[in-house]
Amino acid sequence: PVPTPPPAPGTGAELFGLDAERTARRGSFRTLLRGLAPGSPLLPVAARTLVGCALAGYVCSAVGVGRPYWALVTAASLYQANVTLSWNRTLQRTLGNLIGVLVFAAVLPAARATPLALIGFCLLFAFAAEALITRNYWLGSVAVTPMALLVLEYAGSHPAGELIGDRVLDTVIGAGVGFLAAVLVTNRRATGRVERALADAERARAHAVRTLAAPEPAPAALDAARRQLTGSLVELREADDTAAGEWWQPALAREAVLAAEQAGHRTLAATAQRQGWSAPAQENGAV
């Protein structure tokens, strides 16, 4: 058996605090408005999506591809929180679509045999797409591509070579132009977001420590301190993840971020336990 070393002091409390942070990772309309506000670090990502999708559609129209909206959808599907994740998604989307075109070519003769066969194949690929897309994106794309092409058969038969050619060209153009836009539209605000989130996390932790130090803290004050600290830790993790995958960025204070998260999770655990939450392991870790 693999030996399990004893946990370091404060590890259990830190993990409990991490679980408490993750429970607060929910989207909200207020979060969306903050992301669209002037000066938001998410605006460059929105600009990438706008520029990349527009260019992909214009290039496909100029080339004369029959369905340029496929290229636009391909470009839109690439954009993630940073360039590194967008590059990974570009590879997955391209590989999945190209293999999916081969699958479509293989099943098309059987799908055209009867209307029932066409419906059956569409249902099969729809089920496969739903089952795979959240687990492995490129495998999900392998199922989505033949499904999208077979759906066109409901309106009537189309030349197989035309459908395959359009899908391949749209995929290559959409992925290439879309990722090029992600590289050209840089997100220089990502590092500044990390610095602001780090300062906010430190202030929120200091406030929570002061609240805990009170002999009998008010439940409302304790809950407010916990929520403020939780939100600051969520923002710090998201900001650091985004900045870590961007190119052409100033050096990030990774050690400071790690230290702030560890201390913040321990403080969050102590705050949650004071409110009556049960921790998986009781430790006398430092707050």
Give residue-wise pLDDT tens across range 166-219: 999 999 999 999 999 999 998 877 888 899 999 999 999 999 999 999 888 888
Q: Are 202 and 94 in contact (CB under 8 A)?
A: no
The residues, ordered by sequence, that sit 6+ positions from 176 with a Cβ below 8 Å of its Cβ are none
| Cα–Cα distance measured from residue 93 to residue 85, given in angstroms and rounded to the nearest whole number | 12
| Cα–Cα distance measured from residue 160 to residue 114, given in angstroms and rounded to the nearest whole number | 17
pLDDT surpassing 80 at residue 141: yes
Q: Hey, is 141 helix, strand or coil?
A: helix
> What's the pLDDT score for residue 40?
75
> What's the pLDDT score for residue 113?
93
Distances (CA, A) of 33 to 39, 187, 284: 12, 19, 41
Report the b/e string of 261-285 with b at 16+ CB within 10 A: bebbbbbbbbbbbbeeeebeeebeb
pLDDT surpassing 70 at residue 282: no
Mean pLDDT in residue range 134-141: 93
Break the chain into its structural domains and give their ranges: 43-184, 190-287
pLDDT surpassing 70 at residue 9: no
Per-residue pLDDT band at 156 (split at 50, 70, 90): confident
| Cα–Cα distance measured from residue 56 to residue 48, given in angstroms and rounded to the nearest whole number | 12
pTM of the shown model? 0.73
Mean pLDDT in residue range 35-51: 81
CA 105, 109, 111, 117 dihedral sign is negative
